[in-house]
Amino acid sequence: MTRPILPLRFYAGKTVDVARRLLGQRLVHVVNDERLSGLIVETEAYLGAGDRACHSFNRRRTERVEAMYLPGGHAYVYFIYGMHFCFNVVTRSAEEPEAVLIRALVPEEGLETMRRRRRSSHERDLTNGPARLCEALAIDKSCDRLSLQGPRLFIERARARAYPDSMIAASPRVGVSYAGDAAAWPLRFSVRDCPHVSKFRP
């Protein structure tokens, strides 16, 4: 099941393109020598300084968002609601603070560990949301700023080609109603008819 790790150049393109091309690729976190992994089936693009929904809007730069200013191919992990982590893939070049939020996976490896961590026996509920997938894969603040070139956290090429447009649903991002016009931008991408997409379906 092991495949080549996505190269750094994969993350250097336009963030919207990266968000679409990440669909079908495999996110892997190695914990205690065990691979916890899943295929990415839902993403959201965040477009930096001009995007009111983005943590780096207006080039905001704090300790929390510093990872977004790293070169593409790093992890940006943040804490929300005092209880959940969310995992993002940094895109573009250094000092261009854009990223892709990973919202859902089809769980593949380490299912028993995921069930134990999530306290759930239902496979569909293990990774169908950004907080859920972080809990299942043991992704936390210690993963923030890690290079996605491994050996601990990385994304493998599981698809040689991106999904065709006909298989990708585009819709507004979730939970960004505060962002004015940006709240309606169709920057949430998911694999059509996939049961593992989060409950906020197009």
Domains delineated in the chain: 8-191 (3.10.300.10)
Tokens of 157: 């090429």
Token reading at 136 = 């299942």
Query: What DSSP string runs through 65-102?
Result: TGGGGSPSSBEEEEEETTTEEEEEEEESSTT--EEEEE
pTM of the model as a whole: 0.95
HSE value, Cβ hemisphere, 13 Å, CA-based, for 172: 13
Reply yes or no on whether the pLDDT at 31 is more than 60: yes
Rounded to an integer, the average pLDDT of 167-195 is: 97
Question: Is the pLDDT assigned to residue 16 strictly greater than 60?
Answer: yes
Residue 145 has what pLDDT? 98
Asked if residues 55 and 45 have their Cβ atoms less than 8 Å apart, the reply is no
As a whole number of angstroms, the distance between CA 85 and CA 78 comes to 6
7-14: average pLDDT: 97
Whether 201 shows a pLDDT value over 80: the answer reads no
Confidence band, pLDDT 50/70/90 cuts, at residue 199: confident
Separation between Cα atoms, residue 125 and residue 133, nearest integer Å: 9
Question: Which is more confidently placed, 25 or 200?
Answer: 25
| Least confident piece of the model among 17-21, 77-81, 112-116, 169-173 | 77-81
- Which structure tokens are listed for 70? 């790293």
Q: How confident is the model at residue 79 (pLDDT cuts 50, 70, 90)?
A: very high
Q: How far apart are CA 26 and CA 66, in angstroms?
A: 25
Q: What is the pLDDT of residues 83-124, one digit of tens each?
A: 899 999 999 999 999 999 999 999 999 999 999 999 988 888
H-helix or E-strand spanning residue 38 = strand 34-46
Instruction: Decide if pLDDT at 1 tops 80.
Output: no
Of 23-27, 77-81, 170-174, 185-189, least confident by mean pLDDT is: 77-81
